[in-house]
Amino acid sequence: MLYFAADPNIAPITDLITTWIHIGQALVGSVGALAFIFAFLWKITAAESKSALAAKQWIQRIVVGTIGVEVAGSLVDILTKSVPASH
């Protein structure tokens, strides 16, 4: 077996993960905000109560999905910071 004298440098990997997390959060935030606006307008302009209820359900899904992405990003951030950095 080959042993390294020093710990491997994982900084590039954690930087890459962090960058992709930020890109994903920005995309989900932008798409989520746009979807929320459209669902809210759909709810306001709905002629039938069934359609308004469907819009309300979509608004709830959008909110829960956006919160889920934020929580997932925070968890990945915690996990990547828990890996010991090389010296």
Q: Tell me the helix, strand and coil percentages in the chain, rounded to 5.
A: 80, 0, 20
Cβ-contact 59, 39 below 8 angstroms: yes
pLDDT confidence of 5, banded at 50, 70, 90? low
Cβ-contact 31, 40 below 8 angstroms: no
Rg for the chain (alpha carbons), in Å? Answer: 21
Structure confidence by residue, pLDDT tens digits, 29-64: 788 888 888 888 888 888 888 888 888 898 888 888
Residue carrying the six token digits 């956006």: 66
Q: Where are the domains of the chain?
A: 40-80
Report pLDDT for 1: 55
Structure confidence by residue, pLDDT tens digits, 24-36: 878 877 888 888 8
